[in-house]
Amino acid sequence: MSTRVRRIVSVLLGGMLVLPVCADAGGGLTGGATLPEQIVQEATLIQSKISGAERLVEQIQQYENMVQNMVTLPQTLMNQVLQPVDQLYGMVSQAQQLETNAINIGNQFQNLNASFNPQITAQYSQNYESISQGLNNALNTLLQQAGLNPSNFTNQAQAQQAIANAMQNPNSRNALLQGAVAVGQATVSSLTQTNQLLKVQAATEADWKKAQLAAQTSNTEANQEANQALYGTPGQATPAAASGGGTAAVTQFLSGGN
């Protein structure tokens, strides 16, 4: 995310959020959880946010249809309209944090399994970043469609005033709500892509671990078979002990002597 867009998001989130970012989605993974547990938690949070974003889109669309022909809005209605919009800004931030979480989970797997191909991990990280960038582009589009000047978002007071002004004007208000719907839909798409990518990555890593375990099991069995070929079945006395010949008997056995 560019520095300017990060500043805008932080200002928007600073005074307007109804849902706290870290309540159940930002870095909300349980501390001390194992890697498989973190993957399950991440997938559960993503699915929850998909449902939440879909509900917000429906609410904003309803308000958009309700107020599109109204010249002015009563303050009570204004507050009702702003509520899902405010929550949507929080959802965007949470979605991007979940994408960062997914990258961190992949890096943890890589750190714990040094022989896993790091190019695969890097490619997944790049894909998550691409999804996040798509969401940034949607946010930029919202600001442009609503006629909001990024220079008016240098602090919280200016941001609140700029949005209040946009909501008072029918044209900019409609543009703002239309843009919010677009961002909500982009958030749903972003979260869905993240969820799908997380599942693919988890399956790839699980298959690799399974192959590693199979290779280790095969090596262990091969070693056991080699030992049995040399010394007989487990529990059987070694040739040296059986013959009572000590080292000379072992040497004779290994060389194929009678």
Tell me, yes or no, whether 203 lies in a domain. Answer: yes
**Domain assignment present for 253:** no
Question: Which pLDDT does position 124 carry in this prediction?
Answer: 96
pLDDT of residue 105: 95
Task: Return the structure tokens found at 62.
Answer: 């309803």
* Residue 39 maps to a domain: yes
pLDDT tens-digit profile of 148-184?
776 665 555 666 677 777 888 888 888 888 888 988 9
pLDDT band per the 50, 70, 90 thresholds, residue 190: very high
- What pLDDT score does 92 carry? 85
Q: Residue 116's pLDDT is what?
A: 94
What is the distance between the alpha carbons of residues 172 and 147, in angstroms, rounded to a whole number?
Answer: 7
The model's pLDDT over 9-66, given as tens digits with 9 standing for 90+, comes to 444 433 333 333 333 444 445 556 788 889 999 999 999 999 999 999 999 999 999 9
Among the listed residues 253, 112, 89, the one whose alpha carbon sits nearest the alpha carbon of residue 183:
89
Establish if 161 belongs to a structural domain.
yes
Q: Is 239 left (phi over 0), alpha (psi -120 to 50) or beta?
A: alpha
**Does 247 fall in a domain?**
no
Q: Please indicate, yes or no, if residue 243 is contained in any of the structural domains.
A: no
pLDDT value for 145: 72
Looking up residue 72, the CATH number of its domain turns out to be 1.20.1420
pLDDT for 71: 86
Q: Are 150 and 143 in contact (CB under 8 A)?
A: yes
pLDDT of residue 113: 93
Q: How many domains does the chain have?
A: 1
Higher-confidence position of 245 and 154: 154
pLDDT in tens, 109-154: 999 999 999 999 999 999 999 999 998 888 777 777 777 776 665 5
Domain that holds residue 28: 3-218
pLDDT tier, 218 (very low <50, low <70, confident <90, very high otherwise): confident
Closest CA to 24 of 93, 94, 83, 85: 94
233 vs 158, residue with greater confidence = 158
Whether this prediction's pTM lies above 0.85 is answered by no
User: Do 57 and 185 form a contact (C-beta atoms < 8 A)?
Assistant: yes
With residues binned 3-state (H G I as helix, E B as strand, rest as coil), the percentages for the chain, rounded to 5, are 80, 0, 20
Nearest-angstrom CA–CA distance, 238 and 98: 60
Domain contains 83: yes
pLDDT digits (tens, 9 = 90+) for 76-115: 998 898 888 878 877 888 999 999 999 999 999 999 999 9
pLDDT of 215 higher than 60 = yes
In this predicted structure, what is the pLDDT of residue 16? 33
pLDDT over 70 at 233, yes or no: no
- Classify residue 168 as left (phi > 0), alpha (psi -120 to 50) or beta: alpha
Q: Is residue 211 part of a domain?
A: yes
